[in-house]
Each structure stands twice: as C-alpha cells, then as structure tokens.
Amino acid sequence: MDSKTLIGAVCLTVVVMAPVAVARAQRASGDEAERGRIIVQAECAACHGADGNSASPQFPKLAGQKVAYLDAQLEAFQAGERPSAVMTKVVASVSDADLAAAARYFSEQTVRAG
C-alpha cells in the first residue's frame, strides 16, 4: 500500500468514526445518570428513598445535595472518619465509580419538604 492510499484510508476512518465517538460520549453521559439511578435503587433507596427524599427522619435526605458534599461524606465513611456500621458496609461493597454515580444522581433530584 502506498503512502497516499494509507493517508486516504486513515482520513476516511477518522471521518467515519468521529460521529460514532460523539454518539458514544453522549450515550455515556446518559448512561451515567441511569447507572446512578440503578445504584441508588439497589443500595440506597431502602433508607434514603428512591429519589433521595427519605421518609424517615432517622435517615438524611440526600436529594439536592451538592455532589462535592456527597462525595466527601462517602470518602469519610470509606476512611472510617465518619463511623456508621451500615454505611461502612455499603461503601465497602460499591465501587468508587458507582458511589460517584449515586452521588451525582442524588444531587440532580429535587428535595421535598417533610
């Protein structure tokens, strides 16, 4: 294969694959929100509510909290700086990426009074 053919093939590949890469990036951002929702349903909803609005005053409402705050609290549970038998088990069994997705999900929810 001569250099002109190789350059043409590379250019064609870039032109064809660029829209695919953009579509994947857009889908990944949507998938992140869905992943957060799924993690919350599996790990958090029983205490904090499906949308972060806990029905019990025993458990804090997480809806509408800032992502940085939620991340910091989860890190504190992981490090043992904030003791909680339940949360220590949760953060030990959920990956950092999934915890971040759950924190982002909660931050995007609307807090309700009551």
R_g (Cα) of the chain, nearest Å: 21
CA distances from 35 to 50, 65, 67 (A): 13, 18, 15
The tens place of each residue's pLDDT in the chain, 114 residues long, gives 654 443 443 333 333 443 444 344 444 456 888 999 999 999 999 999 999 999 999 999 999 999 999 999 999 999 999 999 999 999 999 999 999 999 999 999 999 998
**CB-based contact 94:87 (threshold 8 Å):** no
* pTM of the full structure: 0.72
**CB-based contact 104:36 (threshold 8 Å):** yes
Residue 103: CA count within 13 A, CB half-sphere? 18
Could you give phi then psi for residue 84, rounded to 5 degrees?
-165, 120
